[in-house]
Structures are given as C-alpha cells and as structure tokens.
Amino acid sequence: MIFFVGVMALSAYWVFTQAAEGGTYVMVPDVTGLPFTRAADVLTAAGLELGKRHDVADDRVPEFHVIVQRPRAGQEVRAGRKIALTISQGKTYEPVPGLIGKTLAESLTELESTRLQAGAVARIPSSLPADVVLAQDPEPLLPMEYGGEVHLLVSDGPATKATFMPTLVGMKLDQAQAALSNLSGLNLRVVPYKIERPGAEYDTVLAQSPEPGSRLNEGDTVTYDVRPGTSSFLPNAKRAVDAVFVVPNLGRMVTVSVYIPQPNGQRELVYPQPGQDYPEGGTPTPFPPGTQIKVPATYESELTLEFYVDGELYTSYYYSRDGRPVITSYAAGSRVPTIGGGLVQQEELEPVEPGMPARNTTPFSRRPPR
C-alpha cells in the first residue's frame, strides 16, 4: 500500500511539472521587415500561430511588411504561442496623379489603383471631346492624405446654340417665316407642309412641331402646316395627307395593309406597323366591313399608296402635287408575298377602271406622325 501511494504521488508530480512547464519550447524567429505572408509562413514553420494584427501607416516600412512583433525575436515560448504583428500600411500621404487630358473613365480607373477617391465631377462646354478631364483639384503631384477626394472638371463637348420654339400657330405665313429666319444661327431645317383643310384660313399656320416653348438645338427640324393660297411662297414645301380607305364588304373580316411602291421595284410597308398598329409578336388586326382606316403620309411632288385586302391588291391612291387623289381598282388575285415585311418585290398588276376619280376620299388635313 505504501509503495502504491508513492507511485501515485510521483505520477501526479510529473504531470504537474509538465503542465507547468507547458511542454515543448521554441525560439521566436525574427519576422520584422518581412512581407506579411512570408512572416506567416516563417511563424507556422516554427510551430507558432498568428495573433492579432495591427495595421498602421508608416513612411519607412514598405506597405504590408512587418514593423513590430510581440513576443520579440529570440524569446523562448511554448509551441503554439500566438505572435501579434504590426503591419505597415505604407506612406500616410500619396501624390495626386495627373489626370488632365485623360478621359473620365481612365481617370476613375487610375484613382481606384491609389488610396485616393474620386470626388465631385462637374461638366462645362468645351472645344475638347466630351468626358475629357479639363482640370482637377488638388493639382497633380500634391501630397494628399489617404482617403482624400480628387475633384474633376470634365468637358461636356462643344457648346451648342439653343433657344426655344416660338408660337407659330395663328401667324400669317410671312410672319412665321420671318420668325423662323431670326433663328437662322441655329441652322434649323425648316419644312412647311401644304395641307388642304376646308374652311381654314389661307396662308395661316395651322399646326407646328415642336410645340411652342420647346427647346431648339442647332440642326433641329422645324415643321409647320399651312393651307397655301394661290400666291404663297413655300420653298422646300411638302404635302401632308391622310389617305382614307373604307374596308369593303366581302362577307367577312379582313386584314388591310398599305404599301408605297419604290423606284427600285420594291414596296415599302407603311401600315400596319408592329408595336404601333398591333402588338409586337402578334398579328395584324382584321377589320369588319365599313371600317375607315386613315393612313397619314407626306410627299413632295407625287405619291402612290397601294391598299391590300387579305394580301391582295384592292386599290391604289395616286397623289400628284396639290390635286385630289386618283383611285384605281385592281382585279382579284394580285398578291403581295407577306404583310409583315418592310420591303417586298413589286409584281406586274392588272388595273381595272384605271383613272377612276376619287369619291369621298378628300384627305383630312392632319400632321402625320414624325
């Protein structure tokens, strides 16, 4: 029993001394001046662990390198001891990069590679292309504390002259022309539209685009509608008409499409247009007999509109200068390949009753969509 008690006492003493001594001891290596990742490898190889990390600005030690370690190098510590490192953030100040003459995108990318930030971006008209940096604050090469903002003045492109659209509706033609001539510095494209509106005053502006008060920029297009008199002077004038087509009674609902023949032998589809006259991805709407369809159109000297019913040419409207349209009806069987295409090949068509005068087809005077 005495022997057994002695053995137990010796065993307890050995365990206590080992716990107090902490097992294996290792020498702390010197990692000051090393990059953080290299310092971590050295400490791990020595049987130690990384402790808490402190980042501070330092003008002498390169960025991401170890400034101080705790415990210090050469000290004996237990294996697995955590070593706290103080890491350099590099210089406290950084010179502002020179951004003048660079594009805004290039400048922002360059600032992202520094410890500085992009500040406010202001724009002014300039002879330089848009988005070129004209000035910066602070100036290039000035030392700036980390996190500071660099403000940029950027070109908005060459300045354009601008004014506002005058009110032309109700003006006499000569007055409207004079008002627009005062805006000649903007190099506007002025297009008068000759219309026929029974009961409207001659040589008086009936509609205009853009609306009064709208901003006008250099090179914009201005149009106005007028019912010309016999002595009206309208250079560069066009005609604006609404061709009215009545869906024939064929005992069923039918689709209607309208084409303009082109000099190259093709046809341009002007009605219906997907997304405007029927939903995108859908099909054209069929119409019951007697439905009136108005197709706005403009022309300079002459225009032909061909109306197809269920894909077969039914009739054509021919406009020449200021005259009333001439309607020509066609025999059944003259087909156009598709309704959905923009331009299709023109076919030889056999007219019936050529030159038949228009009946109840005087065009409405309305500005066509532009």
| Domains parsed from the chain with CATH numbers | 19-88 (3.30.10.20), 93-155 (3.30.10.20), 162-236 (3.30.10.20), 240-352 (no CATH)
Beta bridge partners of 39: none
pLDDT of residue 182: 86
pLDDT of residue 339: 38
Lowest average pLDDT, out of 127-136, 239-248, 338-347, goes to 338-347
> Does the structure show a pLDDT above 90 at 349?
no
User: Dmax over Cα atoms in the chain, in whole Å?
Assistant: 143
> Does the structure show a pLDDT above 70 at 91?
yes
Q: What is the pLDDT of residues 18-70, one digit of tens each?
A: 544 556 999 999 999 999 999 999 999 999 999 999 988 787 888 899 999 99
> Does the structure show a pLDDT above 80 at 268?
yes
Threshold 0.75, pTM exceeds: no
> Does the structure show a pLDDT above 90 at 210?
yes
Mapping DSSP to helix (H, G, I), strand (E, B) and coil, where does residue 363 land? coil
Tell me the DSSP string of 234-290.
-TT-EEEEEEEEEPP--SS-B-EEEEEE-TTSEEEEEES-BTTTB-TTS-PPPB-TT
Contacts of 338 (CB under 8 A, 6+ apart): 311, 344
Q: Which of 241, 231, 229, 141 is nearest to 195 (CA)?
A: 241
Lowest average pLDDT, out of 159-173, 197-211, 232-246, 337-351, goes to 337-351
Going by pLDDT thresholds of 50, 70 and 90, the confidence category of residue 356 is: very low
Average pLDDT, the chain: 83
pLDDT of residue 369: 39
Q: Which residue has the higher pLDDT, 31 or 263?
A: 31
Going by pLDDT thresholds of 50, 70 and 90, the confidence category of residue 9 is: low
> Does the structure show a pLDDT above 60 at 154?
yes
**DSSP classification of residue 360:** S
Going by pLDDT thresholds of 50, 70 and 90, the confidence category of residue 17 is: low
Q: Which residue has the higher pLDDT, 17 or 346?
A: 17
Q: Which residue has the higher pLDDT, 327 or 185?
A: 327
Report which residue type is found at 176.
A
Q: Tell me how far apart the alpha carbons of residues 146 and 78 are, in angstroms, rounded to a whole number.
A: 40
> Does the structure show a pLDDT above 70 at 180?
yes
Helices and strands (DSSP H and E) totals, the chain: 4, 24
pLDDT of residue 209: 93
